[in-house]
Structure 1
Amino acid sequence: MASFGWKRKAGEKISKTVLQIFEAEAQEEVADNGDSDEVDWLNATKRRKEVLLEDCAAKSKRLKNEGSLLAEEGRRWEAIKKWEEAIHSTPDDATLYEMKSQVFTHLQEVFPAVQAAEMAVKLRPLWWEAWQTLGRAQLALGEVDLAVRSFQIAIHLYPADNSLWVEDLAWAQKLQKQRQEMCEKDNQEEEAKQQLLQAPELLPDYDFESDEVVAACVAVAERQKIYDNVRKTRVVIDRRGMVQTTQESANSPSPSENLFIKARGL
């Protein structure tokens, strides 16, 4: 896939503000009315609103162009700030969100890139370049299936663009196929592992009548018998240091305290 490039260029020169025009018209209107007490406040308010809207549009266009120049110079964060300021003036301008998404993708800020592109698509659903930018942002995020869908929509809207077929859709479909092959390989390895662990020859033999099991049980019983006999043996050391070993029983008396020094059960 070719490297992601900056698509937008700087637009026309910024037009001057229309505030002077508004003031001139206002003065003419006052001159025409003369000393009349009747003032058309409704029309004046509408005209004022139209001038303010034109002023916001002019400001937004100026900021948009400044951001484009900054982006082309590699000053991408400054460009984003310009466009965000322009969005405050014209929040319905889809091109501002689309350009923000492109720059965010350059900066590897994939989540803001996807969010900005989704907003551009929401404002202009039939704009194929917005769908292309959204697909590239989704691809950078790792959402290959969503990217394929976005590229397909862009091609449906503008099938004449060759880059959509070659650079975008073909690349996304290749990644999608590779991911499917990796998933299938992982599933095959897991199935082979389960078959290996469940092999009949690896299952334990629970034949309790075999000679090996009987011999093991006898050996365990003999060791247990020896251990029980040892536990019933008492070792006594008298004052002269002589060791006396006796077998404990229920009727055997305890040794005399005069002869006993220490004793322990083994």
Structure 2
Amino acid sequence: MKYYFTLLFFLALSTAVIAQDTTPEGSESRDFSARVINAQTQRPLESVHVVNLNQVVGTITDAQGEFTIRAAVNDTLFFSYLGFKTQKIRVTNDMFRFAETQVELTELAYALEEVIVQPYQLTGFLDIDVRNLPMNNAYQYSISGLPVSYEGGNKSPNAVTKVLGAIMNPADLLRNLFGRHPRQMRKLRQVKEDDRIRDLLASKFDRETLTELLQLEKVDIEDILTNCNYSSSFIRTANDLQILDALSACYEEFKVLNRQN
């Protein structure tokens, strides 16, 4: 009987080893290394932002254009660098099997347009120049007793209706926006927790990395923040990290309001 149980033990152990050996290559995350170069000059590119969109981790290339990041087969890596076209690649088994994988980024061609230095003439007389300066047509509406004001856009009856709707039914206005992207909204917390991702987003203003991470269109981001009472100037000038934090704060407030209703 003792021999029988010993035999069963070794049979089970060998089965486990065989199963482990037959596990498809690349099914688990591991360190993936590669090199990023300029497609035109074949020179390495330093400080290229590399983000694993599936696992929400990021890194940057060193002076030799090299980087290492956690990845698994079929993960998508997103590359972005100022002045170069962004690129996405799918990680394959061959990239792990063979060394010296290279990713080539292509330079963007910039067409310089005519720049008007003085869109309006200044006379030097303050009272005249003040009247000639363009005015901000966005109206802020406030109600006594409420600590915040509401931006309603241009002065029109629809602007007032929008403000009243935001006050009376704040969750209803955002339910459709957030309801269309439940998976992306749940991913917000994961994106916020990676310090390297936050550092990358802090230096970006084009929304490209953010839209790839969250799988949202730029217009969706603008709609969400507009309905969360963020001004158009903030949406236009904030860096990607500030936009990420604003989206997260807006979603948390929405969840609270949604539970109350």
State if a TM-score over 0.5 links the two structures.
no
Category of TM-score, reference length = shorter chain: under 0.3
For normalisation by structure 2, the TM-score amounts to 0.20
Q: Which has the larger radius of gyration?
A: 1
For normalisation by structure 1, the TM-score amounts to 0.20
